Amino acid sequence: MKVLVAVKRVIDYNVRIRVKADQTGVETSNVKMSMNPFDEIAVEEALRLREKGIASEVVIVSIGGQNVQETIRSGLALGADRGIHCETGQEMQPLAIAKILKKIIEKENPNLVILGKQAIDDDSNQTAQMLAALTNWPQGTFASKVVIENNEAIVTREVDGGLETIALKLPAIISTDLRLNEPRYASLPNIMKAKKKEIEVIPVNSLGLDAAPRFTTLKVEEPAKRQSGVKVANISELVQKLVHEAKVI
């Protein structure tokens, strides 16, 4: 069984985000980048399936400029077998990403596709669902547990009311939640091995699809700074402030 894992290069979650001076976006120059944390969970789940003997190959795919190969190498260092770089200098929005991944699925013919449920830079939470619609494959989103048996993926997913367990006929699309697993760290021998592993480069403009953005970002602003709190001496003063100053009651 082949497992395809999509990963995204994002600003590291430990970095404080700064808005560009011209408000066209966030500053990425000289900023530490890393693999999207939800995608790290997706890679870990695929590797665990291979270690159990369920999966025979784990393929990492990422979309973007030349620098995304560093992110692919990170996945290879964790233990993935090979990588695919869909090269483009354009901004890729969820629908375009789903279309590109569909083309890669047609080429690779995987039995299972695993993605992080969302990227921490845009929080769109759309790609997995759009990809399932385009491929007409069953989907299990927000997965907190995955079991593969009898050509089915038994997925426990986190919903507003608690947990829901569904059975998906393979091939299928799964998006990962935080509680699915704890990603491993790359060992030094695997980091060295990753340098020699194959990364296939596929120009996005060679795929013959419409990847044009569907919306435009007009301006990016930092959130308003939170005002400091006020101490009150008693309940009467608290009620006075809530009624007459804050006007919330």
Reported pTM: 0.86
Q: Tell the CATH superfamily of the 2-224 domain.
A: HUPs (3.40.50.620)
Strand, coil or helix: what is 67?
A: coil
pLDDT tens digit sequence for 90-111: 888 999 999 999 999 999 999 9
**Quick one: pLDDT band at residue 203, thresholds 50, 70, 90?**
very high
pLDDT tens digit sequence for 5-59: 999 999 998 888 888 888 888 888 888 999 999 999 999 999 999 999 999 999 9
pLDDT tens digit sequence for 144-161: 999 999 999 999 998 888
Crossing angle of helices 37-51 and 68-78, in 10° steps, is 30
Q: 114: which 2 tokens?
A: 């695993």
Question: Domain residue spans in the chain?
Answer: 2-224
Residue 16 has what pLDDT? 87
Residue 89 has what pLDDT? 87
Residue 41 has what pLDDT? 96
Question: Tokens 């047609």 identify what position?
Answer: 106
Annotate 125-192 with three-state secondary structure.
CCHHHHHHHHHCCCEEEEEEEEEEECCEEEEEEEECCEEEEEEEECCEEEEECHHHCCCCCCCHHHHH
CA quadruple 174, 202, 51, 33: dihedral sign: negative
pLDDT tens digit sequence for 124-147: 999 999 999 999 999 999 999 999
